[in-house]
Amino acid sequence: MRKIVILGGGTAGSIMANKLNKVLNKNEWKIILIDANNTHYYQPGFLFIPFGIYKKEDVIKPIKKFFPKGIEFINKEIEIVEPVKKEVILKDGSKINYDYLIIATGAKLAPEETQGLKDKLWNKSIFEFYTLEGSMALCEFFKQWNGGRLVMSIVDMPFKCPVAPVEFICLAEEYFTKKGIRNSVEITLVTPLSGAFTKPVCTKVLGDMLQKKNIKVVPDFYIERIDNENKKLISYDGKELEFDILTIVPLNKGADFIGKSGLGDELNFIPVNEFTMQSEKFPEIFALGDAAALPASKAGSVAHFAAGYLLKNILDVIQGKKPEAQFDGHVNCYIEAGFGKAALIDFNYETEPLPGKYPIPVAGPFSLLKNTRINHLGKLLFRWIYWNILIKGRHLPVTSYMSMAGKKKI
């Protein structure tokens, strides 16, 4: 019996396990999924925990709940992949051979890579909200904090959900306003980018919104180290910025085994063809989601939109054909703006976010690059969609490719 092995049971891995299970002949193929975790996390929900909008139970479920019947789940840690031998070696020494391998192990935080970050102020005056533990620690801190300099900073690109820092400071601005201490809080976004986002049109829209909220943006700031004694960010060119509380996006990296296996770049993300998601060095290996070194945002929507193309390409390769399905880098993200409103952006490799309506031209109901109540409700509804449709590999009534229908060129 031939084997497809999936490494990682998060968003991308769960979607592919479900999609493959529906189309492969079970008498000919065995699907094996390997993950050391027992819990599946709804990572977009971590953003809401510091402000008491979501609780722990809203963002976690048993990982097995989303795997289709018939696949083999190995709940163990991966040591290394031997691509020439087509083997996955686990920490306990056991070996799993494969015919095709899908790596979907995501991205992880690496705060230890930045000098002074994971030091004595960690989870005391310095926090991250990209893990359940970090967001819960920040929630407890905010309950007793009465004001000062709040700095939201980014160590480097790429990182998971590039709009999350903007969403965080918008929700923080609302939270402190409702708490009655907004006038006592100075909010600053510090970024290595030239503005609030990576795309010019969206950057201007978000920059204008932050300016109206009296939130300062400090661009082109590359963090070298954190001065714990004086509570300062120090950049590589010697600039300094003081904080009372620092929320930070640490350096993001791929899984350690990717580096050990010689499959990754300098950050352990896997170089693959950006259209087919196939490794050009090892054609039986594919990468999906945050684990892949694609010129697209590391967002759950990328895994969702790309999964259908990857499925077609794997089926082509199995049949001895050249993979022909071409993923266009489609991404869409809701951006929380605070006070019950959100924006929506929709873009791909070639086209930046544009104004308009989504997913139905003219009718919407969601507005692109515009803060509306319905966009905010869409963001909240997405949690149900995620748990019940998306990671189960079910169809959503939106195109996987980025359509220009309903968009206005500017």
pLDDT tens digits for 250-259? 999 999 999 9
- What CATH number does the domain located at 110-251 have? 3.50.50.60
- CA distance linking residue 407 with residue 405, whole number of Å: 6
User: Tens digits of per-residue pLDDT, 288-305?
Assistant: 999 999 999 999 999 999
pLDDT computed for residue 246 by the predictor: 98
- What CATH number does the domain located at 2-51+59-107+254-318 have? 3.50.50.60
Residue written as token pair 């809701």: 334
User: Tens digits of per-residue pLDDT, 41-88?
Assistant: 999 999 999 999 999 999 999 999 999 998 999 999 999 999 999 999
Contact 392, 69 (CB under 8 A): no
pLDDT computed for residue 334 by the predictor: 96
What pTM, to 2 d.p., does this model score?
A: 0.95
Listing DSSP states for 111-142 in one string gives GGGSBTTTSTTBTTTEE--SSHHHHHHHHHHH
Q: Domain limits of the chain?
A: 2-51+59-107+254-318, 110-251, 331-392
- CA distance linking residue 89 with residue 86, whole number of Å: 10
| Region of residue 123 (left: phi > 0; alpha: psi -120 to 50; beta: else) | left
Q: Which residues of the chain have pLDDT under 70?
A: none
Strand, helix or coil for residue 73: strand
Q: How many beta carbons lie within 10 A of that of residue 187, not counting itself?
A: 20
pLDDT computed for residue 293 by the predictor: 96
pLDDT computed for residue 210 by the predictor: 95
Task: Tell me the H-state helices in 261-406.
Answer: 300-318, 373-388
Residue written as token pair 């006592």: 184
Do the domains 2-51+59-107+254-318 and 110-251 sit in the same CATH topology, yes or no?
yes
Strand, helix or coil for residue 390: helix
Listing DSSP states for 195-212 in one string gives SSSSSHHHHHHHHHHHHH
Residue 250 burial class via C-beta count within 10 angstroms: exposed 0-12, middle 13-18, buried 19 and up: buried
Tokens describing residue 233:
């960010």
Q: Which one-letter amino acid corresponds to residue 390? A: L
Task: Tell me the H-state helices in 1-150.
Answer: 11-23, 132-144
Measured CA to CA in angstroms, residue 119 lies from 114, 115, 145 at distances of 10, 8, 21
Q: Is the peptide bond before 62 cis (omega within 30 degrees of 0)?
A: no
DSSP 2: E
Contact 71, 31 (CB under 8 A): yes
